[in-house]
Amino acid sequence: MSKLNARIPEGPLAQKWTNYKDHQKLVNPANKRKLDVIVVGTGLAGGAAAASLGEMGFNVKNFTIQDSPRRAHSIAAQGGINAAKNYPNDGDSVFRLFYDTIKGGDYRAREANVHRLAEVSNNIIDQCVAQGVPFAREYGGLLDNRSFGGAQVSRTFYAKGQTGQQLLLGAYQALMRQVNAGTVKMYTRTELVDIVIVDGKARGIIARDLVTGELQRHFGHAVVLATGGYGNTFFLSTNAMGSNGSAAIKAYHKGAMFANPCYAQIHPTCIPVHGEFQSKLTLMSESLRNDGRIWVPKKKEDAEAIRAGKMKPTQIAEEDRDYYLERRYPAFGNLVPRDVASRAAKERCDAGYGVGATGLAVYLDFKSAIERLGQKTIEARYGNLFQMYYKIVDENPYETPMMIYPAIHYTMGGIWVDYELQTTIPGLFAAGEANFSDHGANRLGASALMQGLADGYFVLPYTIQNYLADDIRTPRMTGNEPEFVEAEKAVKARFEKLMNIKGKRSVDSLHKELGLVMWDFVGMGRTKEGLEHAIQRIAEIKKEFWSNVRIPGNITGMNIELEKASRLADFIEIGNLMARDALKREESCGGHFREEYQTEEGEALRQDDKFAYVGCWEYKGENAEPELHKEELVYEAVKMVQRNYK
Amino acid sequence: MSNLLTTSIGRKLLMSVSGLFLILFLFVHLFLNSFLLLDGVFGFERGQMFNAGVHFMGTNPLIKIIEPVLAIGFIVHIIYSLILTVQNMKARGPQAYASGKKTTGIEFASQNMLVLGIVIASFLAVHIINFYMKMKGFIAWEAGEVEFPFLGNMAKGEDAYSLVNATFKVLPIVILYVVGSVALAFHLSHGFWSGFQTIGWNNKTWMPRLKCIGNIVAILIGGGFAVIAIAQYLFF
Amino acid sequence: MEKTINLTLKVWRQNGPREKGRFETYKVSNISIDSSFLEMMDILNEQLISENKEPVAFDHDCREGICGMCSLYINGRPHGPDDDVTTCQLHMRKFQDGQTVTIEPWRSAAFPVIKDLIVNRSAFDQIIAAGGYVSVSTGGVPDANAIPIPKVDADESMDAASCIGCGACVAACKNGSAMLFVSAKVSHLALLPQGRVEGARRAKAMVAKMDELGFGNCTNTGACEVECPKNISLSNIARLNREFLSAKLKD
């Protein structure tokens, strides 16, 4: 158990972070210049961390697989970012944000981390405004707020439907300022392919130049992984095509623990799947649930008529519509947390009330909002989302209700980190979605941006110093040390192995196969049998992949299929871990729903006496089963109760 | 300030300022040309107003100063248009789009300013030979002498009107002038608002206004010159 | 029920930055009109892989029109024959059965081709690095509501800030000019009191970098505005000119 020391500071919950900062070790300015920090990823967490560390004077190397740091998938977040500012005077506070996040996460997050997150949330808004993020404002010139799922206060700051974009551009600009100042060196189109461990500490990475195919060795006194989530294990998700879990798997293979892999968030409002050629699912912001009402027909025959294309939703009378969220959860209505909303949609569709050609869709209707507020107001709030929907589906959502269905969106699980965001490998840190930390079993809307920026701006730049302070005498390595040479050799061998399979199946066809297995058995409703089946199927896919994948082209130069293949090999590992973790967790909580464990009303049923822990998986070798470690979750400030949004 | 002209916007500023200055000149020119048609309206005899105008322009010291400035305006506008075009071609790169350019909804003129400019410059050369060179005595012509009783002191000068009238009695020349005027109108329809845009005197509200004013200016100037040439051919 | 079309594709293929490129012709069939353009490209690539040929390399990532990664010059227009979309949002219902579709990379001296349809747009990053930010470091900033900002300014700033840095403006411009991109960033920050402080410095630095990188001179043609997937207004360029010239005049 000694491997999992969360290193939570002493003191009362509200004082822990202050106490930590008061007593942590710092690095003086002259020494900062001597220390190299590798940051992998340029999203909200990575970009913010690289910029902040650069500003402090550290020597930062920042890596991204895209052509520019501004492409990181944080950019796609639409709805907003939470903070406990209480500007609308509706009773918000740091404690309430903390409490809502813990509750929303179904009591599976670490109290101290979440409280710190709530504490720094306000600094984030201040910081972003100072950077020139154009948040929405009232006519009086002050910041506007909107409400989001899982909260009874309006605490979400937003910039049209492009909040993630604006926050990321803020971080990106701060980052480019440091690039200009020379404190950050940017490596674009460069992918981490391994982590180098020297004397038990993370001391660098092996990276692959995606344009030339060359392998590079990079030294860092510390390495930060801010590489996002692994939702693309499902092939179809709201993640970007390039989003991947490879860095997490590399860390896992080198000894970092992978925590709660089974916690994957299914977002309730995505544009439904409409064909097998589909490459990704498009999210429609949760903020739409502020004004949109979700419904399916009350009568099965109406639903059938709609599916057959004989009837239009606008023809269904008000009394024949089942606003099932408002019916089941009168207190929160359409603003229940994501996991609850997703399962409710699945329940209706499984029961035969689904709409759309496939029957796997429900309506999100703005009719009453347009009647109440006028089309102009709705356009001002959601114009770009409506336009996006129109371009994809070719239907005007101002006139006919949107069709939505849940899709994989975010992974709460990730690399295990302690309070300092350090993994079980000293010197290896993980920030943002890549770590497992703050959302428990379910993330509330507008909290991902908050966590990414909290980690990047206000947590990691502090906590990493506590580690680096002991490293000021460690000289820079050249990259010619045996550990680097060995790591590069292993990576090279792996790529050569992939190229030499010369099989028949394309990477995407295998990935789609994996995705279907994941969606069917490790998706919204999981069972013991299903998960066991999934583990077996994933093993088969793994075998098929390593014996029959086809990668045209060469190992040198740009080879997109090779990049994809390398990532798919890692997704297969993650899929396996997710299924194992889901099998082991015999309860339902947040994004993890085991059909065997539900209340009579179909709500998630936790087993706090047995599973109030973080499930951490340790890699034991290629052919061995991974080992489960547990970090027990202790709740001092809040009492664990069954979530109730009724 | 010193290195303003080494920047793209600085060079564009020269184009803009010289262009807007040339528009001012065109208005003065058009005003004078309008005299060609207005004798009857104000009760003068054939050509009197125009000849007086030409005489005034030819003898006024202020115009003597403005004239080289005007020439510089033309030269700057032309030279910088060439410099900018060469730079732009370089920036565009050697490889053209095989599928061409199918962007819709942009002004014809804005994409063809250089071509229009070349048409105008060619026309300008002919125009200078037709009139300016003669009136300034570089090319010999039979200038009758007329008097300007209303300018006081019985001033005398050349009968420029006859020259103009005679020139515009030749149909090909009239056609050439109409073509030149139309090219000028198109050039101005973009050049006017673009000039203001480059100086920075434009925003969302003023964009449609400036474009509207630009079109009026273009029609006024281009149309004005063309109508005068045609009227001279037909009615005078 | 689902409508499908067949297409002939003329695709630019180029092995590397310094190699000579050429057009290759491919046929794809039974493409659902509900699929996106990039999904059609995926289908083409699957087809190529099955023939053991190298798939076409093209940039793409979020596939929801916000990351700015996708490019492609399709049948004479950046981001193809639809308005206000990126290539990933372009759908096949915009094409006719039997049509020939020409697919080219962005063409501009400042955006050299890396491979096939992928170009190097790092020049945009360099322009931002030159001054496209507010010089504040993390921490020590005033409360977010300390300075009220008129809603109209905040909204206009947001409109300018919605630029995704895809480069369609440069690709569409007959002069290979990056003025719309630069002006969007300058406007975004100049309209906010936080960015106003170093407005002059920013305009000068960004324009200087833009010029240095070999982008062309703006002739206010407006093709950039038409092809911009995010509708960035040409009036931003007027603001940039204003900012730049008044900054220079003060020097």
Residue C91's domain is classified under what CATH number? 3.10.20.30
Spell out the SS3 assignment of A233-255.
HHCCCCCCCCCCCHHHHHHHHCC
Indicate whether C85 and C139 sit together in one domain: no
Query: Which chains have at least 3 CB atom pairs separated by less than 8 Å from chain B?
Result: C
CA distance A432 to A421: 10
Cβ contacts of C122 on chain A, cutoff 8 Å? 67-68, 188
Q: Which residue of A has its CA nearest to C140?
A: A127
Q: Domain for residue B222, yes or no?
A: yes
With H, G, I as helix, E, B as strand and everything else as coil, classify residue B106.
Answer: coil
CA distance A112 to A463: 14
Kindly write down the DSSP assignment for every residue of A516-531, as one continuous string: HHHHHHSSSSB-HHHH
A630 forms beta bridges with A615
Cβ separation B1–C244 shorter than 8 A: no
Domain count, chain C: 2
Indicate whether C134 and C205 sit together in one domain: yes
Cβ separation B88–C77 shorter than 8 A: no
Cβ contacts of C142 on chain A, cutoff 8 Å? 126, 130
Whether chains A and C touch (3+ CB pairs under 8 A) is answered by yes
Q: Domain for residue B103, yes or no?
A: no
Cβ contacts of B98 on chain C, cutoff 8 Å? 10, 12, 23, 102, 104
Cβ contacts of C219 on chain B, cutoff 8 Å? 84, 88, 110, 113, 194
Q: Which residue of C has its CA nearest to B10?
A: C245
Q: Which of C31, C39, C61 to mutate to test the interface with A (most CBs of A within 10 A)?
A: C61
Cα atoms found within 13 Å of the Cα of residue A439, Cβ hemisphere only: 36
- Give C 71-100 residues with CB within 8 A of chain A: 82, 84-85, 89, 91, 93
Phi-psi region of A421 (alpha: psi -120 to 50; beta: other; left: phi over 0): left
Sign of CA dihedral A353, A355, A360, A366: negative
Cβ separation C218–B8 shorter than 8 A: yes
Indicate whether C148 and C97 sit together in one domain: no
CA distance A321 to B55: 87
- What are the CA-CA distances from residue A300 to residues A45, A344, A355, A360, A404 (Å)? 46, 17, 10, 14, 18
CATH class of A482-620+628-632: mainly alpha
Nearest to B99 among C104, C174, C220 (CB): C104
Domain count, chain B: 1
Nearest to C39 among A69, A75, A277 (CB): A277
Q: What is the pLDDT of residues B175-233, one digit of tens each?
A: 999 999 999 999 999 999 999 999 999 999 999 999 999 999 999 999 999 999 999 99
* Residue A180 C-alpha, separation from nearest chain C C-alpha, in angstroms: 5
pLDDT of residue B153: 58
Q: Which residue of C has its CA nearest to B203?
A: C235
Q: Which residue has the tokens 């202020």?
A: B62
- C65 and chain A in contact, CB less than 8 A: yes
Q: Which residue of A has its CA nearest to C146?
A: A142
Superfamily for A13-266+410-471?
FAD/NAD(P)-binding domain (3.50.50.60)
Q: Which residue has the tokens 């206004």?
A: B209
pTM for the full model? 0.95
What does the longest C-alpha to C-alpha distance in chain B come to? 70
CA distance A292 to A402: 9
Nearest to C138 among A52, A159, A211 (CB): A52
- Give C 7-66 residues with CB within 8 A of chain B: 10, 12, 23
Please give the torsion angle defined by the CA atoms of residues A584, A590, A596 and A597, in that order, rounded to the nearest 10 degrees.
100
Domain span at residue C100?
4-104
Indicate whether C141 and C227 sit together in one domain: yes
Provide the residue ranges of all domains of chain A, joining segments of one domain with +.
13-266+410-471, 268-409, 482-620+628-632
Q: Domain for residue B97, yes or no?
A: no
- Gyration radius of chain C's alpha carbons: 20
* Residue C243 C-alpha, separation from nearest chain A C-alpha, in angstroms: 17
Cβ separation A240–C63 shorter than 8 A: yes
Cβ contacts of A140 on chain C, cutoff 8 Å? 148
A435 forms beta bridges with A415
Nearest to A509 by CA among C49, B84, B109: C49
pLDDT averaged over consecutive 10-residue blocks of chain A (646 residues)?
84 96 96 97 98 98 98 94 96 96 95 97 98 96 90 92 96 98 98 98 98 98 98 96 97 97 95 89 89 95 93 94 95 89 92 92 95 92 87 93 95 97 98 95 94 98 97 96 98 98 97 96 96 98 98 96 98 98 96 93 91 97 94 94 81
Cβ contacts of C114 on chain A, cutoff 8 Å? 211, 558
Phi-psi region of A563 (alpha: psi -120 to 50; beta: other; left: phi over 0): alpha
Nearest to C89 among A69, A279, A391 (CB): A391
- What are the CA-CA distances from residue B203 to residues B116, B218, C242 (Å)? 26, 21, 10
Q: Domain for residue B96, yes or no?
A: no
pLDDT at C1 over 70: no
pLDDT of residue C161: 98
* Residue C124 C-alpha, separation from nearest chain A C-alpha, in angstroms: 9
Q: Which of C1, C32, C67 to mutate to test the interface with A (most CBs of A within 10 A)?
A: C67
ipTM exceeding 0.85, yes/no: yes
Whether chains C and B touch (3+ CB pairs under 8 A) is answered by yes
Spell out the SS3 assignment of A345-386.
HHHHHHHHHCCCCCCCCEEEECHHHHHHHCHHHHHHHHHHHH
Nearest to C35 among A135, A186, A277 (CB): A277
Residue pair A170/A104 in contact (Cβ under 8 Å)? The answer is no
With H, G, I as helix, E, B as strand and everything else as coil, classify residue C132.
Answer: coil
CA distance C176 to C214: 9
Cβ contacts of C206 on chain B, cutoff 8 Å? none
- What are the CA-CA distances from residue C180 to residues A52, B127, C125, C159, C175 (Å)? 29, 39, 15, 13, 12
Cα atoms found within 13 Å of the Cα of residue A562, Cβ hemisphere only: 29
* Residue C175 C-alpha, separation from nearest chain A C-alpha, in angstroms: 24
- The pLDDT of B64-70, averaged and rounded, is 91
Cβ contacts of B110 on chain C, cutoff 8 Å? 219-222
DSSP-derived pairing of the beta strands A81-82 and A156-157? antiparallel
Residue pair C186/C206 in contact (Cβ under 8 Å)? The answer is yes
Residue pair C209/C130 in contact (Cβ under 8 Å)? The answer is yes
Nearest to B197 among C77, C104, C237 (CB): C237
Query: Which chains have at least 3 CB atom pairs separated by less than 8 Å from chain A?
Result: C
Cβ separation A394–C93 shorter than 8 A: yes
Q: Domain for residue B102, yes or no?
A: no
pLDDT at B158 over 90: no
Indicate whether C38 and C92 sit together in one domain: yes
Cβ contacts of C31 on chain A, cutoff 8 Å? 277
CA distance B196 to C125: 30
* Residue A131 C-alpha, separation from nearest chain C C-alpha, in angstroms: 5
* Residue C75 C-alpha, separation from nearest chain B C-alpha, in angstroms: 5
Summary mean pLDDT of chain B: 91
Q: How many CB pairs under 8 A join B and C?
A: 154
Angle between helices B8-42 and B224-235 (to 10 degrees): 30
Indicate whether C154 and C241 sit together in one domain: yes
Q: Per residue in A339-362, is it b (16+ CB within 10 Å) or e — as a string?
A: bbbbbbbbebbeeebbbbbebbbb
Indicate whether C127 and C198 sit together in one domain: yes
C242: Cβ contacts below 8 Å, ≥ 6 apart:
B199, B200, B201
Q: Does domain A268-409 have CATH number 3.40.50.720?
A: no
Beta strands in A464-618 (DSSP E): 613-618
pLDDT of residue B151: 63
- What are the CA-CA distances from residue A164 to residues A27, A159, B143 (Å)? 32, 8, 77
Q: Which of A121, A167, A391 to mutate to test the interface with C (most CBs of C within 10 A)?
A: A391
pLDDT of residue A123: 97
Give me C98's structure tokens: 């039997």
Cβ contacts of C135 on chain A, cutoff 8 Å? 177
Amino acid letter, B80: Y
pLDDT of residue B134: 86
- What are the CA-CA distances from residue A434 to residues A200, A322, A582, A607, C208 (Å)? 21, 38, 19, 26, 38
Amino acid letter, A208: R
Q: Which residue has the tokens 């940051």?
A: A39
Cβ contacts of C200 on chain B, cutoff 8 Å? none
Indicate whether C79 and C133 sit together in one domain: no
Residue B157's domain is classified under what CATH number? 1.20.1300
* Residue B195 C-alpha, separation from nearest chain C C-alpha, in angstroms: 9
Indicate whether C26 and C85 sit together in one domain: yes
Nearest to A166 among C46, C144, C161 (CB): C161
With H, G, I as helix, E, B as strand and everything else as coil, classify residue C75.
Answer: coil
With H, G, I as helix, E, B as strand and everything else as coil, classify residue C48.
Answer: helix
* The domain boundary residue, chosen from C77, C104, C131: C104
Nearest to C177 among B7, B91, B207 (CB): B91
- C211 and chain A in contact, CB less than 8 A: no
Residue pair C154/A137 in contact (Cβ under 8 Å)? The answer is yes
Give me A96's structure tokens: 């309430």
- Give C 122-181 residues with CB within 8 A of chain B: 156, 172-177
Residue pair A11/A265 in contact (Cβ under 8 Å)? The answer is no
What share of chain C in percent tops pLDDT 90? 98
Indicate whether C100 and C157 sit together in one domain: no
What does the longest C-alpha to C-alpha distance in chain A come to? 75
Indicate whether C80 and C153 sit together in one domain: no
Kindly write down the DSSP assignment for every residue of B50-79, as one continuous string: HHHHHHHHHH-HHHHHHHHHHHHHHHHHHH
Find the DSSP H helices in chain B: 8-42, 48-59, 61-92, 108-111, 113-127, 133-135, 160-167, 171-199, 206-218, 224-235
- C108 and chain A in contact, CB less than 8 A: no
C225: Cβ contacts below 8 Å, ≥ 6 apart:
C169, C180, C231, C232, C233, C234
pLDDT at C219 over 60: yes
Q: DSSP class of residue A594?
A: B
- What are the CA-CA distances from residue A3 to residues A196, A347, C82 (Å)? 20, 41, 56
